[in-house]
Amino acid sequence: MSASPATILIVEDDPDILRLVADVMRREGFGVETAEDGAAMDAALARAHPDLIILDIMLPGEDGLSICRRLRAQSQLPILMLTAKSEEIDRVVGLEMGADDYLVKPFGSRELLARVRALLRRVNAQPLAPASRRFAFDRFTIDLDARQLVDERGSGPALTSAEFDLLACFVQRPRRVLTRDQILDWTRGRTADPLDRTIDMLVSRLRKKLEAASPGSNPISTVRNGGYLFTADVKRVP
C-alpha cells in the first residue's frame, strides 16, 4: 500500500449506514469523505480528490445509476456500487453504466474492505488499459473507435452515422432484448422523443444493408412488444 492513505468518498442517504461504513474505512486507515446525495457528492469531488467512490443506487434526487454514468463520462475514478436489489439485471446495468464493482446489501465490513482494496490494487497496478472496441459477428468486423464496418474482404456497407450508432448499440449488447426506449437512450441520449418510430425505420434500413453486403446475414430479430434482439454471436477482437 502506498505511503499516503487512499481517500474514499461514500455517497449514501441512510445516515446510519453512512456512519457505519465511514467507521469501517477510518478504522482501516483510509481517508473518508461523505455525501448524502448527488449534489453533495459534486461538492465533495471539487473539495477533495478521492481515490474511490462507494455509491448507493437508491438516492434521493438523482439516482446512483445516473450519477455513475455522469461520473464515468468525466473520469476513470473507480466506483463501487451498493445495490439494494439482488437481481442480476441491476448489477449488469450498474456495470454497464460504468461501475467497477458492486456489493449487494446487506454486506459485512470484511467483504466491503476486500472489495475496496481489490479495486484500489487494480487501479494502481495498471492505469486502466482501455478495452478493445472492436467486435466480430457473422462475417463482419466493427471498430467502434474508427467507426468502420468491414467484412472479411475488407469492404463493407456504407452506413450512415445513425445506422452505425444503432449497430454499435447492438454489438455491445448482443443476445439481449432491447426496447425502443433503451435503444433511443443509448444511441441518442435522453433528449430524444420517446415515441420516435424512427428506430423501426433505422432497423429496417440496417437490415437491408447487412443483408445486401452479406446475403443470409440476418442478425436482428424483432420480438413482441416492440423490442429488438441482436442474435449473432459477437466476439471482442484485438
Partner 1 sequence: MLRLSLATRITLIVLVMLLVAWIGALALYYRSQAGAGENARPLPHQIAALVELAEQTPPDQRPLFYEAVSSSILNVRSADTANLPSPEARPVVAALHDSYAAALGDRAFVITTRPVTGSSGLATRGLEFRVVLKDGETLVLDTKSPLPLTVFGLPVGFGAGLIGTLIALAALIVMHRETRPLARLSAAVDRMDLAGEPSLLPQARTSAPEIQTLIAAFNRLQERLSRLLRARMAMLGGISHDVRTFATRLRLRVDHIPEGTERERAIGDIDDIVRLLDDALLSSRAGAGELSEELVDFGRIVEAEVEDRKAAGAPVDLRMGAPAADAAILGDRLALRRIVSNLIDNAVKYGQAAHLSLETDPEAVLLTIDDEGPGIPAELREELFEPFVRLETSRNRRTGGAGLGLAIVRNLVEAQGGSVATGDAPAGGARFTVRLPLFRHRESPDDGAAMPPDSRS
Residues that bind partner 1 (CB under 8 A): 14, 16-17, 20-21, 24, 58, 84, 86-89, 92, 105-110, 175-177, 179-182, 194, 207, 218, 221-227, 229, 231
Nearer to partner 1, 121 or 176 (CB): 176
Determine the distance from the C-alpha atom of residue 68 to the mean position of all C-alpha atoms in its chain, rounded to a whole number. 8
Nearer to partner 1, 21 or 116 (CB): 21
Q: CA of 29: how far to CAs of 1, 8, 26, 78, 117, in Å? A: 11, 10, 5, 19, 12
Q: Which three cell numbers stand for residue 124?
A: 494502481
Nearer to partner 1, 111 or 152 (CB): 111
Closest approach, Cβ 86 to partner 1, in A, equals: 6
Closest approach, Cβ 193 to partner 1, in A, equals: 12
Closest approach, Cβ 106 to partner 1, in A, equals: 4
Closest approach, Cβ 15 to partner 1, in A, equals: 10
Angle 40-67-74 from CA coordinates, rounded to 5°: 100
Nearer to partner 1, 115 or 180 (CB): 180
Phi, then psi, of 211 in degrees rounded to 5: -65, -40
Nearer to partner 1, 45 or 220 (CB): 220
Q: Which three cell numbers stand for residue 100?
A: 467497477
Specify the residue for cell string 454499435: 168
Cis peptide before 5 (omega within 30 of 0): no
